[in-house]
């Protein structure tokens, strides 16, 4: 059975919205353009964007489940992001100069008893991926369906916040790609690691409320991993329908 790309996603602001793409062009050593280019530093964080920082420095879905329900639209020509959430009005703003408007908007989604968003930070070097190298996350629909079976009901695959979704693989086949190269369209990627998961996966992307013990389901296989992180070795274009194969 042939494996193909079914969806491409990016997340302009880490943990604060997702948007779907029909195609994307990536560079060697890079990420999906504008994916996690910005992140929201909390009030105890010292991050200024000059270097990569771990996720503990930022406001994120693991601690703020409501953020899972944020969707995004990035207009590159205007430099503007539009954020939507079922509980608040939409916001359109320029992340490079309108951060006060964004911070006021997102504080409506943050409980009083948690770390508050303090600064919208732009990555000056590597994007704020969860890996300490610029990565693209490859997700397998068959593995997601296996998790659904363990949980016992349908789950939105958007809770995994991956970049490229692939169908036509066996469940967990992507774990066999560790340290191997994969071709997607014009692009060659080297799989570097499995993606370890946290409680962000418990949150429903439509409601922003925790509704499933996804980590418990993963633990039934003896791990808490889903998807793999890959490094772009040869850049080029990726689009919906592209074939996926090991090199």
The single-letter DSSP state of residue 224 is -
Q: What is the pTM assigned to this prediction?
A: 0.96
- Fold held by 3-11+21-31+131-246: M1 Pyruvate Kinase; Domain 3 (2.40.33)
Per-domain residue ranges for the chain? 3-11+21-31+131-246, 38-122
**Per-residue confidence in pLDDT tens, the chain, 247 aa:** 699 999 999 999 999 999 999 999 999 999 999 999 999 999 999 999 999 999 999 999 999 999 999 999 999 999 999 999 999 999 999 999 999 999 999 999 999 888 999 999 999 988 999 999 999 999 999 999 999 999 999 999 999 999 999 999 999 999 999 999 999 999 999 999 999 999 999 999 999 999 999 999 999 999 999 999 999 999 999 999 999 999 9
Query: Which run of H or E residues covers position 103?
Result: helix 99-106
DSSP label of 34: T
216: left (phi over 0), alpha (psi -120 to 50) or beta: alpha
In the structure encoding, which two tokens stand for residue 12, read together?
A: 């302009």
């Amino acid at each position: 059975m042939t494996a193909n790309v079914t969806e491409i996603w990016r997340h302009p602001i880490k943990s604060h919205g997702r948007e779907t793409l029909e195609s994307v062009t990536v560079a060697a050593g890079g990420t999906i353009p504008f994916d996690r280019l910005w992140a929201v530093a909390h009030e105890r964080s010292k991050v200024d964007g000059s270097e990569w920082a771990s996720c503990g420095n930022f406001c994120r879905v693991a601690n703020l489940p409501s953020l899972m329900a944020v969707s995004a639209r990035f207009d590159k020509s205007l430099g503007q992001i539009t954020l939507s959430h079922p509980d608040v009005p939409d916001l359109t703003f320029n992340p490079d100069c309108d951060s006060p408007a964004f911070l006021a908007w997102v504080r409506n989604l943050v409980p009083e008893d948690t770390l508050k968003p303090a600064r919208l930070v732009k990555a000056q070097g590597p994007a704020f991926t969860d890996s300490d190298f610029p990565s693209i996350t490859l997700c397998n629909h068959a593995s997601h369906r296996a998790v659904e079976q363990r949980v016992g009901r349908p789950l939105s695959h958007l809770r995994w916040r991956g970049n490229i979704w692939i169908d036509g693989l066996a469940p967990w086949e992507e774990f066999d790609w560790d340290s191997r190269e994969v071709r997607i369209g014009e692009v060659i990627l080297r799989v570097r690691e499995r993606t370890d998961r946290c409680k962000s996966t418990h949150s429903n992307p439509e409601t922003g409320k925790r509704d499933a013990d996804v980590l418990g389901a993963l633990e039934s296989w003896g791990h808490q991993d889903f998807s793999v992180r890959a490094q772009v070795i040869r850049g080029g274009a990726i689009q919906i329908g592209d074939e996926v194969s090991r090199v």
